[in-house]
C-alpha cells in the first residue's frame, strides 16, 4: 500500500558543475517512481533538518496532516526528476547550489545513507509535468535559468529525432555549461554570469530578440518568477502565442525562500 511520503536513501552524489549537484536516490521499501515521466516532471521531497541526516517524514503520513495543518511542519521543497533508473527503483535529482537555501545546504553535505521523503511515490499514474508540447509543434523555444536546467536536460534528451528547438539557458559561470545527448535538431544559446540570484536576468531581453517561425510552435520557460512573467507577456503580446502553446513557470522568486508552489500560467 502506498503512503503519502515514502523514504528514499541517498546512494550517490556527483558535482556536475561548480553550481550543480546530482544526487541519486534509491527507494526504501517496495515503491517505484513512474518511468514514463516527461520533461520537467515534478517531485516534492521532505528534507532532513539542518544538522540531521534523516527527514522527519512521519508528520506527512499522519491521517490528520493536510491543508490547514497547525502543527510544526518539517522542511520540504519542490524539485525536478532528472532521470529515472532501474524501472523506478532509483531516481536522480539535480540541486542548484546557492547561499541561504535549506535544500542546497543539505545537498552539499549529503552522503550515502541519508534519508529523504518522496511524496506520492507509487501513486502516480500520470507524471506531474508543466512541459506540454503539442504534437503539431514543428519548433520549440526552451528557456531556462539554472533551476530550469534539470527539466531542460530531460526535455532535450526526450526529443524525437530531428525535432527542431532553440534553447536559451542562463548559468552563473562558463563552467556551469552542461552537455546534453539529444536526437533533436537543437541550438543552445548560453548566457553567462547574469540572473540566478547574482545579477539581473538577461533571459527576457534575449527572448525579446527572438523571431517566431511561420510554422506551429511551442514555448517552455522555467526560471525566476518575475522573469518568467515578463517572457510570458512577450510570448502572448508581441508573438501572439496562444495560451495552450506555451508554459511559463516561475521556479523561484527573488529574495524569497520556502515551500512555495511554482508561479504558473
5-119 and 139-252: identical CATH topology = no
| Lowest-pLDDT range of 19-23, 124-128, 209-213, 252-256 | 124-128
Structure confidence by residue, pLDDT tens digits, 174-196? 999 999 999 999 999 999 999 99
pLDDT value of residue 206? 98
CATH topology of domain 139-252: Rossmann fold (3.40.50)
Torsion of CA 98, 118, 92, 25, to 10 degrees: 100
Report the pLDDT averaged over residues 135-162.
97
253 or 258: which leads in pLDDT = 253
Q: Is 63 helix (H, G, I), strand (E, B) or coil?
A: coil
pLDDT band with cut points at 50, 70 and 90 for residue 144: very high
As a whole number of angstroms, the distance between CA 151 and CA 149 comes to: 5
What is the spatial distance between Cα 203 and Cα 173, in angstroms, rounded to a whole number?
15
> What does DSSP say about strands 263-264 and 246-252: parallel, antiparallel, or unpaired?
antiparallel
Lowest mean pLDDT among 51-55, 162-166, 235-239, 259-263: 259-263
The arithmetic mean of pLDDT across residues 22-36, rounded, is 95
| Mean pLDDT to the nearest integer, 215-231 | 97
The pLDDT value recorded for residue 125 is 67
What pLDDT, in 10s, does the model give residues 76-128? Answer: 999 999 999 999 999 999 999 987 789 999 999 999 999 999 998 876 667 78
CATH code of domain 5-119: 2.40.30.10
- Predicted pLDDT at 12: 98
- Residue 258: pLDDT above 60? no
Q: Which pLDDT score is estimated for 70?
A: 81
Confidence of residue 257 (pLDDT cuts 50, 70, 90): low
Q: Give the count of alpha carbons within 13 A of 123, CB side only.
A: 12
Q: What is the DSSP string of 174-213?
A: GGG------SSEEEEEEEESSBTTTB---HHHHHHT----
Cα 251 to Cα 22, 55, 78, 93, 196, distances in angstroms: 18, 23, 9, 15, 11
% residues pLDDT > 90 (the chain): 83
Q: Is 137 helix (H, G, I), strand (E, B) or coil?
A: coil
Per-residue pLDDT for 15 more than 70?
yes
Burial level of 258, CB count in 10 A (0-12/13-18/19+)?
A: exposed
- CA 165-161-137 angle, to 5 degrees, is 45
Give the Cβ contact number of residue 48 at 10 Å.
20
Contact 188, 153 (CB under 8 A): no
Domains of the chain, by residue range, sit at 5-119, 139-252
What pLDDT is stored for residue 111 in this prediction?
A: 97
- Is residue 23 within 8 Å of residue 12, measured between CB atoms? yes
Amino acid at each position: 500500500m502506498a503512503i503519502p511520503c515514502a523514504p528514499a536513501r541517498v546512494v550517490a552524489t556527483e558535482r556536475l558543475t561548480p553550481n550543480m549537484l546530482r544526487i541519486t536516490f534509491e527507494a526504501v521499501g517496495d515503491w517505484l517512481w513512474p518511468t514514463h515521466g516527461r520533461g520537467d516532471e515534478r517531485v516534492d521531497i521532505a528534507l532532513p533538518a539542518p544538522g540531521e541526516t534523516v527527514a522527519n517524514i512521519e508528520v506527512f503520513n499522519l491521517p490528520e496532516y493536510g491543508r490547514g495543518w497547525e502543527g510544526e511542519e518539517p522542511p520540504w521543497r519542490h524539485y525536478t526528476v532528472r532521470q529515472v533508473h532501474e524501472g523506478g527503483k532509483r531516481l536522480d535529482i539535480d540541486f542548484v547550489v546557492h547561499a541561504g537555501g535549506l535544500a542546497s545546504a543539505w545537498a552539499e553535505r549529503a552522503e550515502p545513507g541519508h534519508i529523504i521523503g518522496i511524496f506520492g511515490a507509487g501513486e502516480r499514474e500520470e507524471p506531474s509535468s508543466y512541459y506540454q508540447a503539442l504534437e503539431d509543434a514543428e519548433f520549440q523555444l526552451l528557456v531556462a535559468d539554472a533551476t530550469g536546467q534539470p527539466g531542460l536536460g530531460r526535455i532535450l534528451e526526450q526529443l524525437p529525432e530531428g525535432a527542431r528547438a532553440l534553447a536559451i539557458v542562463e548559468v552563473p559561470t562558463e563552467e556551469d555549461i552542461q552537455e546534453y545527448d539529444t536526437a533533436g535538431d537543437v541550438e543552445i544559446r548560453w548566457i553567462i554570469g547574469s540572473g540566478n540570484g547574482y545579477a539581473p536576468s538577461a533571459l527576457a531581453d534575449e527572448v525579446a530578440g527572438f523571431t517566431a517561425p511561420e510554422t506551429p510552435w511551442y514555448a517552455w520557460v522555467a526560471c525566476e518568477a518575475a522573469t518568467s512573467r515578463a517572457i510570458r507577456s512577450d510570448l502572448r503580446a508581441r508573438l501572439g502565442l496562444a495560451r495552450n502553446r506555451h508554459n511559463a513557470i516561475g521556479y523561484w522568486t527573488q529574495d524569497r525562500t520556502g515551500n512555495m508552489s511554482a508561479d504558473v500560467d
